[in-house]
Structure 1
Amino acid sequence: MVILSILLLAAALPFSSVFYFSSIVINRVAILVLLLSSLLAFNTLLLEPLGVGVGIYGGVCLVSVISQAFDCFILASGSLLLVLATGILPMKSLYYWSSTREEITHDPLSKLIPLILLLSTLGMSCLVTSSDLVTVYLSIELQSLPLYILACLYRDSEPATSAALKYFLIGALSSCLFLLGSSLLYALSGLTSLEGVYLVSSLGVGYSGFLIPVLFIGLAVLIKLPAAPFHYWAPDVYDGVPTLVTSWLAIMPKIALLAFLLLYQGLSQIGGIVVTEQSVWGFILLGSALLSLVLGALLGVAQYRIKRMVAYSTISHLGFLLLALGLVTPQGLEAYLFYLFQYVVTSSNLFFVLLVYSNQVLETWGDSTVFLEQPKPEKDPSEESYWLEGLSVMRTPTTKPLLISSEYNRISCFHSNPVLALSFAICLFSMAGIPPLIGFFGKLLVLTTALDSGYYFLVFIAILVSVITTGFYLRVIRVLFFDSIHFEISRSTEMILRRAVLSESDPKPLHSMVIATLSLIIILFLAYPYPSLNSLHLIALSFYFW
């Protein structure tokens, strides 16, 4: 159904100007398509043969309970994040203050965004069902190539173009490693089917040669996640691209890649790969989890730009996910699935809040980029010159605000909407693991499962990391609620900013509904946790014991 909708939208886009289709209409069609596809995927979970798996398309795809559960989750998450694209005006106003709503709604580039995101979602959906090296590679590229295009869609932005180029080069390196590992596996076994490779390796024929290609493929996926120590590209890319693209990069590719890592590890265990190889791969997962936890927390403390801080926070959360995945137990899988669920819910709500006030919440871009065609003044040695979306703001070097409001007279834009500020704080508290929010239970499940498996040192490090990350989450809350930021700006600049605030002061009804729903899920999970926990428990048991 997703393929058919992509073809129909691609055929309809050239006629959108004739029939006056706006980008919002196209985006809502894409949302409905993903929602209906998610319901269809959920309906297939009731089929009894899925317990042992059903091979389709000549065995290159394997449909099972775990793959369909991930497929349903990916499609539902994609439809949720596509709601963000209904606010095209806030995203594009990051680059063009002079753009009107009419110009942006019917801008040809904004109409391409739903189609690009549908293509990426199709690749993710194919990846979770792939059981052949060829289809796995094609699925990874199908999910990645649209994101390369989306990252550099606005070529007038130097940070976005630079981030897109870096993202493309790192993705190309990861693809090369994956192809190298796949080629070596094919040379050693003569097979591209994952199940066939596992069966051959279980015979003990040349098992030492299988170790290197298995590691190459796994490392290629870790680079794309990004997990430490392959994470250095993520903060630059997340910070450079538009916030809408950042929200997609921080959530959607990780679901599909983590699902592939689960299937990659689980099938190797079922196939009977030699214990030496399994222990090496498990050691790499746990080592990457440890580095992700430590580096994500320590480097995140030093960040003063909100999207870079979110990037390091994401790396730290990946540490918890890889820790649960490296345990290779049903309890570890259950903790892994629940942590992934709460991470998607919390991160989605966080980006919804950021994008709703993208006209008011401005990030410190530094003096490297000017989006408007304005001459850059000479910098006074006693002051630091920061350019906010093409508007010059002078401040002393002693102040480093995390978030800068366009209501400059000591009134933060979050103070003008206390409910939205509370939702943002709830997201940060949940990410920090403060009880009784849903993020606390995610970390609790991972840590208790790791304790039961005997990984006491990793649990101790994870607890310390949680304390450190709580510090920089609280720093953001302090800036939002308690710090007053005052800048000396010209009267004309102040009037421009105030017009922007008045025109977009309230979130759209659809955005308000989504933010309220996600916030209630984060807060009230403790009231009725059994449906989600029982469902994840059954999925974990079906993966190991069906």
Structure 2
Amino acid sequence: MLLSSIFCLILSNALSFRRDTAILYSRIGIIILFYCIYLCYNNLFITYLDNGIGLFGGLFYTSPITQTFHILILFITLLILNLTGFYPRKLISSQYLSLSKLLFTKLQFVKNIAVSNIILKKGEQYTILEYTLMLLFIVIGSLLLISSSDFVSIFLSIELQSYGLYLLCTMYRNSESATSAGLTYFLLGGLASCFILLGIALIYANLGVTYLDSFYVINNLAGVLDEQQITTYIPYCLLLITIGLLFKISAAPFHF
């Protein structure tokens, strides 16, 4: 549902010339997320039949827990789009902000051009068509990351989510601070991706597997059979992956 919706939105964005339709796209995104929540809720009874279902040859795994977190992420994104998809079109002066004056005074538009430009500049996301697309790409990466059961799918899901976040940081194209933040985030995110990929590559070089269950089984068997030469480098590989993930979420001491 999300993939087909993103394809339709990309096609619609390419054919649209009006920037003020961004609010319409936000409301379409809310409808899409409602339908995705409904689909996740319907899938709960399927996954309750077993402990879970493997998808795409074991790259992904769906269970009641993953479906519940999918619903949570979709609901939070729905709230975010709801906050940015509906906004007051009237600009009200500060002299009408008290409740009594709002009720008993005739409201007027702010005709001062300088004040209007300042207020409209704060709502610049309402004229960016790609805003809903960025959020949907981030949501797809988050949902795939929760359902991942393989190191390869984990890395690809993190990258898919990160690319949307890089674009979201630089959404205000004319802002120097936004451009600086997006570029810094992109460089640090690329560094973190290198750490994660290096750890995954070293695990594959030592054990020959990328599937999480196989990694768990081989690692435990090597510990039981005292095959220390097999798992000598595994803690360092996991340390590299952990460093990359801490960079991605800006956790201390990698928050700088």
TM-score (norm 1): 0.39
Partner of 2:4: 4
**Any residues of structure 2 matched to 1:25-424 within 5 Å, and which?**
25-49=24-48, 51-86=50-85, 97=118, 99=120, 107=127, 110-204=128-222, 205=227, 206-232=230-256
Once residues 159 and 48 of structure 1 are traced to their aligned partners in structure 2, the CA distance between those partners, rounded to angstroms, is: 46
3-state SS in 2 of match to 1:135: helix
1:104 CA displacement: 7.5
Q: Does the 8 Å contact 2:47/2:64 carry over to 1?
A: no
Cα deviation digits, residues 395-428 of structure 1 (max 9, x gap)? xxxxxxxxxxxxxxxxxxxxxxxxxxxxxxxxxx
Cα separation, partners in 2 of 1:50 and 1:191, compared to 1, 3 Å: farther
1:194 CA displacement: 1.2
Cα separation, partners in 2 of 1:50 and 1:99, compared to 1, 3 Å: same
For structure 2, the residue ranges without an aligned partner over 5 or more in a row are 90-113
1:48 CA displacement: 4.8
Cα separation, partners in 2 of 1:118 and 1:103, compared to 1, 3 Å: closer
Residue identity opposite 2:246 in structure 1: L
Cα separation, partners in 2 of 1:33 and 1:50, compared to 1, 3 Å: farther
Once residues 7 and 216 of structure 2 are traced to their aligned partners in structure 1, the CA distance between those partners, rounded to angstroms, is: 37
1:210 CA displacement: 1.2
Partner of 2:105: none
Once residues 28 and 248 of structure 2 are traced to their aligned partners in structure 1, the CA distance between those partners, rounded to angstroms, is: 30
Cα deviation digits, residues 152-191 of structure 1 (max 9, x gap)? 1223211111111111112111111100100001101111
TM-score (norm 2): 0.79
Residue identity opposite 1:136 in structure 2: I
Cα deviation digits, residues 316-358 of structure 1 (max 9, x gap)? xxxxxxxxxxxxxxxxxxxxxxxxxxxxxxxxxxxxxxxxxxx
Q: Does the 8 Å contact 1:131/1:193 carry over to 2?
A: yes
The alignment covers a number of residue pairs equal to 224
1:103 CA displacement: 9.2
Q: Does the 8 Å contact 2:206/2:231 carry over to 1?
A: no
Task: Show structure 1 runs of 4+ deviating over 3 A.
Answer: 48-51, 87-90, 98-105
Once residues 248 and 200 of structure 2 are traced to their aligned partners in structure 1, the CA distance between those partners, rounded to angstroms, is: 16
Q: Does the 8 Å contact 1:2/1:118 carry over to 2?
A: yes
RMSD over aligned Cα, in angstroms?
A: 2.6
Once residues 187 and 38 of structure 2 are traced to their aligned partners in structure 1, the CA distance between those partners, rounded to angstroms, is: 36
3-state SS in 2 of match to 1:207: coil
Cα deviation digits, residues 31-67 of structure 1 (max 9, x gap)? 1111211221122222255642210111110111221
Once residues 100 and 162 of structure 1 are traced to their aligned partners in structure 2, the CA distance between those partners, rounded to angstroms, is: 19
Q: Does the 8 Å contact 2:59/2:149 carry over to 1?
A: yes
Q: Does the 8 Å contact 1:71/1:125 carry over to 2?
A: yes
Cα separation, partners in 2 of 1:158 and 1:129, compared to 1, 3 Å: same
Cα deviation digits, residues 461-515 of structure 1 (max 9, x gap)? xxxxxxxxxxxxxxxxxxxxxxxxxxxxxxxxxxxxxxxxxxxxxxxxxxxxxxx
Cα separation, partners in 2 of 1:135 and 1:63, compared to 1, 3 Å: same
**Any residues of structure 2 matched to 1:439-450 within 5 Å, and which?**
none
Cα separation, partners in 2 of 1:103 and 1:89, compared to 1, 3 Å: farther
3-state SS in 1 of match to 2:199: helix
Residue identity opposite 2:216 in structure 1: Y
Q: Does the 8 Å contact 1:41/1:72 carry over to 2?
A: yes
3-state SS in 2 of match to 1:55: strand
3-state SS in 2 of match to 1:111: coil
Once residues 165 and 141 of structure 1 are traced to their aligned partners in structure 2, the CA distance between those partners, rounded to angstroms, is: 16
Once residues 83 and 175 of structure 2 are traced to their aligned partners in structure 1, the CA distance between those partners, rounded to angstroms, is: 20
Cα separation, partners in 2 of 1:89 and 1:149, compared to 1, 3 Å: farther
1:203 CA displacement: 1.1
